[in-house]
Chains A and B, each alone.
Chain A
Amino acid sequence: MDEEYDAIVLGTGLKECILSGMLSVSGKKVLHIDRNKYYGGESASITPLDELFTRFNLDAPGEKYGRGRDWNVDLIPKFLMANGSLVKLLIHTGVTRYLEFKSIEGSYVYKGGKIAKVPVDQKEALASDLMGMFEKRRFRNFLIYVQDFREDDPKTWKDFDPTKSNMQALYDKFGLDRNTQDFTGHALALFRDDDYLNDPAVNTIRRIKLYSDSLARYGKSPYLYPMYGLGELPQGFARLSAIYGGTYMLDKPIDEIVLGEGGKVIGVRSGNEVAKCKQVYCDPSYVPDKVRKKGQVIRCICLIDHPIPNTKDALSTQIIIPQKQVGRKSDIYVSLVSYTHQVAAKGWFIGMVSTTVETDNPENEIKPGLDLLGPITQKFVSVSDYYEPVDKGLESHIFISESYDATTHFETTCLDVLDIFKRGTGEEFDFSKIKHELGDEEQ
């Protein structure tokens, strides 16, 4: 440990592992430390099942749930958009070679106490029971507009300037009613609240395109999920970093981030050892005095022995409950994965309900989501604060990631990572630095 590094990364959550990989690939000498003896931090998948019960101060469950080692339970639920930034990062870095994925089978949206499949193409729009007959036609016209839309070709904008006019204006142009706006904004464009209505329409168009391009890519839904759980993702990027020379230490407590002149970081101390460095990258838990609370997220992990009712027995599902449907400011997300992803013992499912906390009684807030799951065998509820750094780290050279938010996918995760990389190195990440042939060597 007593060496000098370009960068020391603290915590092996997904963001830190991606950063570590990108820094190593860029030729930096990296030391990557975690205080825990396992990879993943908050983005770990917990195994065996007893470990999850222990974590929530519950007694070990016994035989009921099959073999404990067959379980890998995510603490934070998210899916990958098949055409999204994380998939691009995985492919460009070659980390995808360590992973296997499955498509999520169903994508649903909640309306009036029931769930319905999210319609994404014209055929589905016309068949959907989310809308009446005339509304279906209007929605179909809207979808065609989005599909034909090219940012670089104003002719496809059809007398509407989406860079200047807001999304509400675009909805109004097509005469879409509130319900249709609701599922378009929340289940297709995946906005967490309604602020987007006042932003330029082009942002929403991009996101709907991401959804439909993702869907077009692999089939039943736009979402992918890694076999053995999300905890595989940080491990994959950690391996990338190691292959490019990164040094890994787990189970290593961090006692101090050592500052030098002008408050600039000069090293990291563990016990009597000090590793020198020019920069530190870390998650909020390593620097409690340099982050502020931004809000709270409630997440409820549910072990269940059946698929979600009314999803055609899908072995994996996402359901979005748009805020207005249940009188809230932010959406409620429901996700389901199962034994088919090697995250649960045969016959078992893991449901997860999460949202941004708005009241003093967060458990009551997620009730509409829990009600969709049917009988639940075991619940694990956590309410966690989420933090953002108080500064951009440009003076201290300590670059801090934001906690994982309530969104159901990794787009904000990747944005944060790319932004931190740019702040830390002063440049955008250059994907061409990855030597693909290294991993592809055939004899």
Chain B
Amino acid sequence: MATTPRGGGTAQRPNGASQNKICQFKLVLLGESAVGKSSLVLRFVKGQFHEYQESTIGAAFLTQTLCIDDTAVKFEIWDTAGQERYHSLAPMYYRGAQAAIVVYDIQNQDSFQRAKTWVKELQRQASPNIVIALAGNKADLSNSRVVEYEEAKQYAEENGLLFMETSAKTAMNVNDIFLAIAKKLPKNDGAGNQGSGQGRRLAEVEQNRQTNNCCK
């Protein structure tokens, strides 16, 4: 992982055929504490669910790859690590993100209002082409629902967001929402590269150097 180029890009075969193109994208999760952000990621990446998920998952980021036609879409998924709690998310978090999932809990009106604030924040801070999905999580608990499906759907449509109700517990719509994002992301040549500042990660710099040396 550490040696993978951040920007990704396409892996072309030597003969020039563009089969098995790999595009890598940074995806950030946003939403109020305890709406199930980490649970969605764990379900998507590992197929796991823990009823009492600890509040942070202790990972820098997780990765998962989806295949769409001849393209492998690799997500580098960033969790907030709890830094959203006192509104102390660093600008670095949004930096170069090409996709975001804004999560709320369908049982919690405040979390929905907060989700709208996050969407505004993304529109202000993140890159203009970012693909944003809204996820109404804990859909398995629809008995105690307070945020209506139609209300959220209408809000999403007005703001150009993808929208699904999800359940990390039952896995409902979890893969689907990532898949919908993957479909919407640009996968032309040079895609999956836009968020990159065009710099290099340190481990990668080293590798490049070795390559260069071989050519000398």
Residues of A whose CB lies within 8 Å of any CB of B are 39, 47, 87, 90-91, 94, 96-103, 217-219, 224, 226-228, 232, 235-236, 238-240, 242-245, 247-252, 340-342, 435, 438-443
Most A CB within 10 A of own CB, among B60, B93, B209: B60
**B197 partner residues in chain A, CB cutoff 8 A:** 100, 227-228, 341-342
Tell me, in angstroms, the Cα distance from A248 to B85 when the chains sit together: 8
Q: If the complex has contacts A250-B86, A443-B45, are A242 and B56 also in contact, measured as CB distance less than 8 A?
A: yes
9 additional A-B residue pairs with CB within 8 Å, beyond A47-B91, A101-B199, A228-B95: A39-B91, A97-B2, A100-B196, A218-B206, A228-B92, A239-B90, A247-B86, A435-B58, A443-B64
Known A-B contacts A94-B60, A243-B81, A443-B64; A249 and B199 likewise in contact (beta carbons under 8 Å):
no
In the assembled complex, the Cα of A96 lies from the Cα of B205 at a distance in Å of 12
21 contacts between A and B (CB under 8 A): A39-B90, A94-B60, A100-B198, A103-B205, A217-B205, A226-B199, A228-B92, A228-B95, A232-B92, A236-B92, A239-B60, A243-B56, A247-B85, A248-B82, A248-B85, A249-B88, A340-B198, A342-B198, A439-B59, A443-B63, A443-B65
Cβ–Cβ contact A242 & B64, under 8 A: no
B-chain residues with CB within 8 Å of residue A252 when the two chains form the complex: 86
Asked if B200 contacts A102 (CB within 8 A), the reply is: yes
Chain B residues closer than 8 Å to A249, beta-carbon distance: 86, 88
Any A CB within 8 A of the CB of B11: no
For the complex, give the distance between the alpha carbons of A235 and B63 in Å. 21
Contact residues on B (Cβ < 8 Å of other chain), bracket: 35 or more
Partner of A442, one of B1, B56, B95: B1
Whole-angstrom CA separation of A239 from B88 in the bound complex: 10
**In the complex, what distance in Å separates the CA atom of A218 from the CA atom of B85?**
39
* B62, CB-defined interface residue at 8 Å: yes
Question: Do A97 and B205 touch (CB < 8 A)?
Answer: no
* B201 proximal to A (CB < 8 A): yes
Interface of B is mostly: loop
Q: Are A248 and B56 in contact (CB under 8 A)?
A: no
> Are A439 and B1 neighbours in the complex by a CB distance under 8 Å?
yes
A248 engages B88 (CB within 8 Å): yes
Question: Of A94, A100, A236, A243, which one neighbours B199 at CB under 8 angstroms?
Answer: A100
The interface bits of chain B over 18-44 (1 if a CB of A lies within 8 angstroms of the residue's CB, else 0) are: 000000000000000000000000000
Closest 8 CB pairs of A and B: A100-B199, A439-B60, A227-B197, A242-B81, A227-B199, A235-B90, A248-B88, A235-B92
One digit per residue, 1 when the CB lies within 8 angstroms of any chain A CB and 0 when it does not, for chain B 41-52 equals: 000011000000
Minimum CB–CB distance from A38 to chain B (whole Å) comes to: 8
Residues of chain A with a CB closer than 8 A to B214's CB: none
Q: Which residues of A contact B209 (CB under 8 A)?
A: 217-219
CA distance A98 to B202 in the complex (A): 10
Inter-chain CA distance A243–B79, complex, in Å, is 9
Say whether B83 faces chain A, with CB atoms less than 8 Å apart: yes
Asked whether B59 lies within 8 Å of A443 as measured between CB atoms, the reply is no
- How far apart are B215's CB and chain A's nearest CB, in angstroms? 14
